[in-house]
Each structure stands twice: as structure tokens, then as C-alpha cells.
Amino acid sequence: MKNINIKAPLNTDLLKSGYIDKEPAQKEGLPTGPMRDGGEGRQSSLLIFVPRNTVSALINDMTGRYGYSHLAVDCGEIDIPTGKRVLIESTFGHGVHHSFQDEYGERKFVRIPLEKAGVNAAEFYACIYSKLGEKFDYEEALTIGLIHNPVKQICSDLATVCLPEAIRADIARYHQAGFLHSHAAMRLHQVSNENEPIRLFVTPNGFAEYFEAPKGEKLAGPDQLAEPILPAERSTHKLRFFGRIKSIFRHI
């Protein structure tokens, strides 16, 4: 990867035109709320979307080619005025906000329920909700995580910053062992104090691969359920074997 001068002014117009999937659906406006629980308790899921145009296809190519380019979070909410299910996402035009789930139409996406991964739904929900209204982080997207503003978010940041530290540390270890794509699925930023939270940059492809969701090209349609499979649940010998194979081919 080319060196990036982090002191140089960043061309956000170039970013908007060349990197971000800049066509959020929003055909009938955003949900106005208030919101209510969907009736199944406070459940949280990652919704990871396949590319839908040349720009989002580029995002997938840049981040490991696992088949995904956008991430949103379903916290089990329904917009009371419309009765529609909503999600929370960060897009370049609106920052972190609610959207209607059906606004994405037939765009395929995989649903990964986080409670199956040991995530406390209430704590995760509270963290996600605290991010509502924050602006989109153009600089972080453009530098692929080298620059990060803690009060701004890109789409996958919503999950990255709100997941439990144990999972974040496990993603870091999994990446360092060579099981996630080295260039774009995830980047680890070291911190000066070992007691500080790990600074991660995880893309939609990184989350899909970590939780062992099917590749995007394998999805049959929108809202396909994929129970998360954590590294601890996989065969140790299988992990070592495939980790070595991946490391070999990435250096060829």
C-alpha cells in the first residue's frame, strides 16, 4: 500500500465519488419514530450487504473480495408511525441514522445474530444508540482506518466500536494469524497502554469472514440468516492448516 500523508488535506469530493457506496435507498424519507421493541425482545444483528453498483463492487475488491460492501445494525426496532422494521446505519449523506429495512429492496444481505456470539444485546444496543447523529468519517474511509475520529463513524465502525472487548481482541488475533484477508478485512492499530481498548478497523467483508457467513455470491436473496461460527468452535487443526495455506498464497 502506498504511504499516506496524514497531514495533507483530504479530497472528500474524490472520496464520495470513488469509494463510498453513495446511493442509500431512502425512497420515502427516513423513519421519524418514536420506535418500539419489535416484540421478540431486544435482539441485535449485523446486516451485511452485497455490492449493488460499480462503486460498492470496488469496495468489495479493496477489502478482500468476500462479497460484501456495506454493514448496518438491526436492534429489533419498529417505527411506530409506519409499523415498519428499521435498521441503524452510517452513510455519507446522513451519518448515523435510522433507515427502513425494506428501503434496500431486493439487495441481498446476510443477517448475523449477535447474541449467538455471546454479545449482550442490551449493552450493544445502548452503544449503537449513543452513536445516532454522529457524522460520517470521510477521512477514516479514505485512509482505510489510518485516521480515526472517535465521534464520527463509517458503516462498519458501528459494530467495531460497540462489540465487547473480548470479541474485538479475538478478531485481532484471528487477523494476525492470517485467517482474515490481510489488506482490507481488518487493520489493527496498536495502543500505547495495554489497558486501553484495542483500536480496530474492520470492514463488512472482515465481519462476514470472521463470523464465517457465506460469501456474498452464495446468497439466495435478502435477509439470509447465518448463525455466527466463532473461531473457538472450529477445528484447531483446520484453522492452522487453512491459515498456513492463506499465508502462502497471499505472499505469492
- pLDDT of 93 strictly over 70: yes
**The predicted structure's pLDDT at residue 27:** 62
For 61-79, write each residue's pLDDT tens digit. Answer: 888 899 999 999 999 999 9
List the domain boundaries for the chain.
13-19+26-250
- Angle at alpha carbon of residue 87, lines to 63 and 107, rounded to 5°: 55
What digits encode the pLDDT tens for the residues 104-159?
889 999 999 999 899 999 999 999 999 999 999 988 887 777 788 889 999 998 99
Q: Does domain 13-19+26-250 have CATH number 1.10.3470?
A: no
- Judge whether 155 and 91 are in contact, CB under 8 Å: yes
Cell digits of residue 236: 484447531
What confidence tier does 206 reach under pLDDT thresholds 50, 70, 90?
very high
* Cα–Cα distance, 174 to 153 (Å, whole number): 23
pLDDT tens for 12-49 read 454 444 445 655 555 668 898 999 988 766 689 999 99
* pLDDT at res. 23: 58
pLDDT in tens, 216-225: 999 999 999 9
Omega before 231 cis (within 30°)? Answer: no
Rounded Cα–Cα distance for residues 185 and 208 (Å): 9
| 156 Cβ contact partners less than 8 Å away, ≥ 6 residues apart | 71, 202, 203, 204, 206, 207
pLDDT-above-90 percentage for the chain: 46
Angle, CA 241 vertex, CA 225 and CA 226 arms, to 5°: 0
pLDDT of residue 183: 67
Average of per-residue pLDDT values in the chain: 81
CA dihedral 210, 63, 162, 166 (to 10 degrees): 40
Runs of H (alpha helix) within the chain: 12-18, 54-62, 121-130, 138-142, 157-162, 165-176, 204-210, 236-250
Residue 26 is predicted with a pLDDT of 54
Burial class (CB in 10 A: 0-12, 13-18, 19+), 55: middle
Q: State the pairing for strand pair 45-49/109-113.
A: antiparallel
Residue 162 has pLDDT above 90, yes or no: yes
